[in-house]
């Protein structure tokens, strides 16, 4: 069963790569975060800032979970989402550092900001860096905990 799941996830990642890249390499991350914070204040939702890169298989799996997995409705209902490209750890690392994210522990990494921009949660131990092996249920459970939703 694990082999089948791993094969399905690899297929999903390949499909995601062909369908488009999850991280906009030309985006102004600071401006996008500010825009998300403005929307978050209106919606009274936290902002989920996801740091990753298009070359990262785990980042692609997490992105697919946000779009089609069990986590998709949870993420949509409980967060404003901003994806921040870190390139080859040479882009936007200053932003990650300002949120207390040690990217050397792996990507994807996330910070949850209050609508006012205060960090309320950050992955500091590479909690999502093995997303491709976590499976849909573990990804959902992780974000349910972060959102304060009972699984």
Q: What is the mean pLDDT of the chain?
A: 90
Entry pTM: 0.86
Helix (H, G, I), strand (E, B) or coil at 49: strand
Summarize pLDDT for 34-79 with one digit per residue, the tens: 999 999 999 999 999 999 999 999 999 999 999 998 999 999 999 9
- Taking phi over 0 as left and psi of -120 to 50 as alpha, with beta for the rest, 117 belongs to left
Kindly tell me if the per-residue pLDDT of 18 is higher than 50.
no
- Is 127 buried (19+), middle (13-18) or exposed (0-12) by CB count in 10 A? middle
Please, what are the domains in the chain? 2-147 (3.40.30.10)
Indicate the helix (H) or strand (E) that contains 60: helix 57-68
- CA atoms of 31 and 40, how far apart (whole Å): 14
Model confidence at 19, pLDDT cuts 50, 70, 90, reads low
């Amino acid at each position: 069963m694990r082999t089948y799941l791993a094969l399905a996830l690899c297929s999903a990642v390949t499909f995601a790569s062909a369908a488009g890249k999850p991280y906009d390499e030309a985006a102004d991350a600071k401006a996008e975060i500010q825009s998300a914070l403005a929307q978050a204040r209106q919606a009274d939702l936290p902002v989920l800032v996801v740091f990753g890169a298009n070359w990262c298989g785990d980042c692609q799996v997490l992105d697919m979970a946000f779009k089609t997995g069990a986590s998709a409705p949870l993420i949509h209902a409980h967060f404003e989402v901003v994806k921040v490209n870190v390139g080859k750890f040479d882009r936007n690392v200053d932003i990650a550092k300002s949120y207390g994210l040690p990217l050397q522990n792996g990507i994807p990494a996330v910070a949850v900001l209050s609508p006012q921009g205060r960090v309320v949660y950050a992955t500091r131990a590479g909690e999502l860096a093995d997303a491709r092996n976590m499976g849909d249920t573990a990804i959902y459970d992780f974000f349910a905990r972060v959102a304060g939703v009972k699984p």
